[in-house]
Chain A
Amino acid sequence: KQEVTQIPAALSVPEGENLVLNCSFTDSAIYNLQWFRQDPGKGLTSLLLIQSSQREQTSGRLNASLDKSSGRSTLYIAASQPGDSATYLCAGVSGGSYIPTFGRGTSLIVHP
């Protein structure tokens, strides 16, 4: 059974910092890994999807990497802004069930 862990649980940084959010998973036979953003009381917004054959994906100031051998993915946010404040969740899909398994998320606050 896939288990996903996210570290840190919470992060507070000043505006402009580059930061890294971590996601670890136990089943290296992962099909894909997806990063989401969730604002308080809202649904999930997809940020990046990394296929098992890929090492990284980029969108604007976001870059996500995937290392199946070590069971890790990272989300890199460059030049953070207050508008980046949200909870970031990663979800891995593995096995034959096509069911994403989520971590608990990292709650990010970027202060001006």
Chain B
Amino acid sequence: DTGVSQDPRHKITKRGQNVTFRCDPISEHNRLYWYRQTLGQGPEFLTYFQNEAQLEKSRLLSDRFSAERPKGSFSTLEIQRTEQGDSAMYLCASVKGGQRNYGYTFGSGTRLTVV
């Protein structure tokens, strides 16, 4: 169990560019979540997957955002045509689904800065 891994740790991009982040969950965890956190705020839910199925998306997830989990293992979050308001920490979490009594494990996050 190596925990939840996120890559890259930091990303600086120019406004208008596309960026993609990756999350590798704990291997036996079938549920994977993406959150966004801005300074001084708690994490806000973006979307989550059970295996490869994307089950719920927040209204925060605009058309410029897309997430995939093609084989039910790692997941990617892509932001197209980035805006300065996208600057935030993007957090990934996983949990062993099927029961609601497990705790969620978070990765170290990807810090996005849009300049």
Contact = CB atoms under 8 A, between A and B. Distances in A.
Given A42-B109, A43-B91, A98-B97, A104 B41 contact: yes
B33 to A, nearest CB: 7
Interface string B26-38: 0000010101000
Interface string B11-40: 000000000000000000001010100001
B109 A32 contact: no
Nearest to B43: A102
> What bracket does the count of chain A residues touching chain B fall in?
20 to 34
B100 interface: yes
B42 A102 contact: yes
Summarize A's interface: helix, strand, loop or mixed.
strand
Contact of A42 (B35, B93, B108): B108
B107 interface: yes
Given A43-B91, A103-B42, A104-B40, A34 B104 contact: yes
Interface of A: 4, 6, 31-32, 34, 36, 41-46, 49, 51, 89, 91, 93, 97-105
